[in-house]
Each structure stands twice: as C-alpha cells, then as structure tokens.
Structure 1
Amino acid sequence: MTEPSLRMAQKILDSQPFSGLVGARITEFGDGAATLEIDVREELEQQNGYLHGGVLAYAADNSITFAAGTTFGPAVLTGGFSIQYVRPAAGRTLIARAAVAHTGRRQAVVRCELYTVDEDGAEVLCAVAQGTVLQTGPAA
C-alpha cells in the first residue's frame, strides 16, 4: 500500500467546506499520525472568549480520521469519538495531534491530544479525545 502524502491530505482537507470555514490545515501526516492546526480568531470563540468546544471537537474528529487514513488510505469515516475538555482553550493556535493506537482489518482506534499555543510559544493541553475510524473502501 502506498501511503497518502501530506499534499494529498491537505487537498482532501481543502475539499471540506467546513474545514475552510475554520481555516484548518494539516501540518503533519504519515506513519499513523496526523496533526491539524487552526489559528484562533474571534469568530471561533464562545461568549467567555475561549475557543468554542465545537471547534475542538471538529479538530479532534478530523485529526483522528486523517491519522487513520495514513494506515487505511483516504476511504475512511469516523465511527465515533469522545472528547474530554481539560481546561478552557485560549491562545493563538489550536493543535490537534492524533496517533493510531490500533489498526484492525476495517477499524482503527486513534487517540488525540489538543493543545493551544500561547503568545510565548508554550503548548497547553486543553482536551483529549479517542475515536474509532472505519475503512469504507479499498485500501490505498
């Protein structure tokens, strides 16, 4: 199986209208892992000035699915995931790092940690997630 490239992953991400709306980008992709980044801006915040939990959930979902795509190829869908918010997300950038914990014949289990980056470049853990991803077509 030929592993999809970072360029191909970004092209797939760019084809998702919602991903464009939040300004998501893939910064790492391969070997059972994927990293998604989103610049924090006012339109993505909730009423208290923190990044909205839905944005964190989106980032977890997509990074989990992209990480599984490194093992299955592009024909994948999220089977389900859970997220635990550790602290309010505040900073300049959201980073979602996902890594495959196990790949079976048709399903992968993937873990994700979400961080915000502050003005000094320090990363602060704000949420953790885990999900299952289903292979929906032939492997790449």
Structure 2
Amino acid sequence: MTAVPSALAFAQKVLDDQPFSRLLGTRVTAFGDGVATLEIDIREELHQQNGHVHGGVLAYAADNAITFAAGTVLGPAVLTAGVTVQYVRPARGVTLIARSEVAHAGRRQAVCRCEVYTRDIAGEQTLCALAQGTVSLARP
C-alpha cells in the first residue's frame, strides 16, 4: 500500500526532522491506513564487526516503522511506549526494509507488528527480524 503523495510527503518531512534518521538516510515508502514502510540503503558504516547490519540499525528501523504505522491511526503526536525485536538471521544486502502494520488500536495507544527484511542486488528479500511495539499518544 502506498499513501497519497501528500501523506507520504508529510511522513517524509516528519522523518527528516529526526537528525538520526537523516544520518541513516531513511526513506518512507508507504504510509497510511495502519501501515508504514521505511527503507535504508545499507552501507559499510551500518555494519558490525562480522559484516552484517548492526542490530541497533534493525531495531531503529522497526521502532520507527512501528511508530509511523501507529501514527496513521492515532495522529502525528505519538511516542513509542515499548518495543521488542527478535533477530532471526544476519542482515546482509543492499537495502533494509521495515514494514509495519497496526494490529490493534484504541483511543490512546496502538500495538503494531513489524517485519524487517533485507533486499539483495537481485531484488530478493530475506526476513531478518520481527518486532512488536506499543505506541501511545504523546502527553503535552
């Protein structure tokens, strides 16, 4: 699912307001109706000592994708209340892809699932992590 251009542009602006997301070069490629997808080009600086994408980068991608998916149903003023990540295989490839969807939403919080994949040069995707998170409305 891809969002209408204005919603996608808004989501990218929000992401670009995060200095760490700018540092990683994160892109929003889907946003709306309870789903969000973020992508990051994999480069050497994101690797750990064994040549795989660092787990912190995978956790960041899952966390932000979860928060963006929740924001499609709760609104833009949201914060992650908690997230768990299960790493299922080393992440290697050219692009990291975090796809999240809302599993349940109430008035003040949403629970989301996220799958994190890598895409190789041939376009094949490999699951490397699964995550679940709770997102709450930010309190003023």
Q: CA shift at 1:93, angstroms? A: 0.1
CA distance in 2, matches of 1:26, 1:66: 9
- 2:77 matches 1:75: yes
Partner-residue secondary structure (3-state), 2:114: strand
Partner-residue secondary structure (3-state), 1:66: helix
Q: How many residues align?
A: 136
Q: CA shift at 1:136, angstroms? A: 1.8
Extract unaligned runs of 5+ from structure 2: none
Q: Which digits, 9 at most, give the CA deviation of each residue in 1:33-62, with x for residues without a partner? A: 000000000000000110000000000000
CA distance in 1, matches of 2:121, 2:29: 19
Candidates 92, 108, 125, aligned match of 2:110: 108
CA distance in 2, matches of 1:119, 1:27: 18
CA distance in 1, matches of 2:121, 2:28: 21
Candidates 81, 97, 100, aligned match of 1:98: 100
Q: CA shift at 1:137, angstroms? A: 5.6
CA distance in 2, matches of 1:102, 1:137: 20
Give the corresponding residue for 1:33. 35
Give the corresponding residue for 2:64. 62
Partner-residue secondary structure (3-state), 2:22: helix
CA distance in 1, matches of 2:123, 2:24: 21
Q: Which digits, 9 at most, give the CA deviation of each residue in 1:101-127, with x for residues without a partner? A: 000110100000000001110000000
Give the corresponding residue for 2:46. 44
CA RMSD of aligned residues (A): 1.5
Q: CA shift at 1:131, angstroms? A: 0.2
- 2:135 matches 1:126: no
Structure 1: 4+ residue segments shifted above 4 A? none
Give the TM-score of the pair, scaled to structure 1.
0.94
Amino acid at match of 1:19: S
Amino acid at match of 1:9: A
Partner-residue secondary structure (3-state), 1:113: strand
What is the identity percentage for the equivalent residue pairs of Structure 1 and Structure 2? 69
Partner-residue secondary structure (3-state), 2:71: helix
CA distance in 1, matches of 2:100, 2:139: 22
Q: CA shift at 1:135, angstroms? A: 1.1
Partner-residue secondary structure (3-state), 2:92: coil
Give the corresponding residue for 1:18. 20
